[in-house]
Amino acid sequence: MNTTQLIIVVPCFNEDAVLNETTAQLSEVLLDMEEKKLILSGEILYVDDGSRDQTWKLIEDLSQKNKRIKGLKLAHNVGHQQALWAGLEWAAHKTYDAIVSIDADLQDDVNAIKEMAIRYQEGNDIVYGVRNERKTDTFFKKNTALMFYRLMNTMGGEIVYNHADFRLMSKRALQALIIHPERNLFLRGMVCSIGFPSACVYYNRKERFAGESKYPLSKMINFALDGITSFSVKPLRLITIFGLSFMVIASLMICYALYAFISHHAIQGWTSLLISVWFIGGAILTAIGVIGEYIGKIYKEVKRRPRYFIEKEI
Ligand code: UDP
Ligand code: MG
């Protein structure tokens, strides 16, 4: 007997053009999963992220007609990550066994949720939805995304390539996530850092069903910067490394400048100027780097992240 109660959390910002269709498709998937005994029951939670259109009215109407549907209305637009967090936190305090997060615009394949549930039954706490290809994305979005994943990985933040916020989490994983106290959210990185058994489900990402993207370039850049700075203090360490390299170059330059001075190749004043520029530049960078190291430590401390999660106990 499968007793899994599933909830799908969907953040919505000005999505009145898609919600009817989203509801129809998600309900169909949930019904199918119930019939196949993949889950016992399935519900949908719409989080209205301070929309300025008819989104909340629509959620109210839908919840009248369809008992699967629940709604949360946020008082102000707080952004995708915070809105999703609101839904996750709400669900964590209820009795759901598993939660799925998905965007409202039907770009992610709703049928992948079935496979996620199967992976979950096999014992995975986190199932990442990973898109196969980026056919429908523009050349620009595809390449900036790729650059971002590379940069993020070299900076030491672990993320799953081509995975956004379409994923399933078990109750245990969800509870581990919501005790992260930080305010700067980069959920795809935070979820990866939890650990616990995980699996990937692959799907093709489609075009937005209707409406337009709520992630213009400016928001994308902010999000990428947030991702890197919330997961890594490496940019600060880079300053120290630069500073020390400058000092090494400075000492070579000093030897060269002194040699030129002694052998009378140098113009008057050149030696002292050259030495000062390299040495002072290096010294300043090193000093900033040292300060950076401490700021990095302070940053890690103030986040007060949980230190570990226990996966098994015997
Ligand atoms: N979204 C939100 N608050 C915002 C911006 C977006 O809740 O301030 C939601 C939006 O309704 C959608 C999801 O976040 O469900 C992803 O946004 P979108 O599809 O516009 O981003 P894209 O797929 O273009 O990156
Ligand atoms: Mg989208």
What pLDDT, in 10s, does the model give residues 187-218? Answer: 999 999 999 999 999 999 888 888 888 888 88
CB 169 within 8 A of CB 126: yes
Q: Count how many Cα atoms sit within 13 Å of the Cα of residue 11 in the half-sphere of its side chain.
A: 21
Local structure of 198: helix, strand or coil: strand
Q: Is the shortest distance between the CB of 215 and ligand 1 below 6 Å?
A: yes
What's residue 191's pLDDT?
Answer: 95
In the reported structure, the alpha carbon of residue 202 is separated from the centroid of ligand 2 by a whole-number distance in angstroms of: 17
Cβ atoms within 10 Å, residue 94: 13
List pLDDT tens digits, range 64-94: 999 999 999 999 999 999 999 999 999 999 9
What's residue 229's pLDDT?
Answer: 85
What's residue 268's pLDDT?
Answer: 80
Q: Comparing C-alpha atoms, which of 91, 117, 116, 103 is closest to residue 177?
A: 91
Strands 41-49 and 5-12: parallel
Overall average pLDDT of the 46-71 stretch: 95
What's residue 270's pLDDT?
Answer: 80
User: Which mutation among 107, 214, 220, 221 tests ligand 1's pocket best, with the greatest number of atoms within 8 A of CB?
Assistant: 214
What's residue 153's pLDDT?
Answer: 81
What's residue 214's pLDDT?
Answer: 83
Q: Distance of alpha carbon 22 from its chain centroid, rounded?
A: 23
pTM for the model stands at: 0.85
Q: Comparing C-alpha atoms, which of 76, 92, 80 is closest to residue 180?
A: 92
Strands 98-101 and 126-131: unpaired
Q: Comparing C-alpha atoms, which of 44, 48, 47 is closest to residue 96?
A: 44
Q: How far is Cα 51 from Cα 188, in angstroms, rounded to an integer? A: 24
In the reported structure, the alpha carbon of residue 206 is separated from the centroid of ligand 2 by a whole-number distance in angstroms of: 9
Q: Is the shortest distance between the CB of 103 and ligand 1 below 6 Å?
A: yes
Atom from ligand 1 closest to the CA of residue 13: 11
Q: Is the shortest distance between the CB of 102 and ligand 1 below 6 Å?
A: no
Average pLDDT of the chain is 90
List pLDDT tens digits, range 233-276: 888 889 999 999 988 998 998 898 888 888 887 788 888 888 88
Cα 83 to Cα 76, 209, 218, 256, 263: the distances in Å are 10, 21, 19, 60, 70
When comparing pLDDT for 57 and 213, which is higher?
57
What's residue 308's pLDDT?
Answer: 81
Q: Is the shortest distance between the CB of 83 and ligand 1 below 6 Å?
A: yes
Nearest CA to ligand 1 atom 23: 213
Atom from ligand 1 closest to the CA of residue 107: 23
Q: Is the shortest distance between the CB of 80 and ligand 1 below 6 Å?
A: yes
Percent of the chain with pLDDT over 90: 57
Lowest-confidence pick of 132-141, 148-157, 234-243: 132-141
For helices 112-121 and 19-35, what crossing angle results, to 10°? 40
In the reported structure, the alpha carbon of residue 164 is separated from the centroid of ligand 1 by a whole-number distance in angstroms of: 11
Q: Is the shortest distance between the CB of 104 and ligand 1 below 6 Å?
A: yes
Overall average pLDDT of the 115-134 stretch: 93
When comparing pLDDT for 138 and 129, which is higher?
129
Confidence band of 134 (pLDDT split at 50, 70, 90): low
What's residue 102's pLDDT?
Answer: 97
What's residue 211's pLDDT?
Answer: 85
Overall average pLDDT of the 91-117 stretch: 96
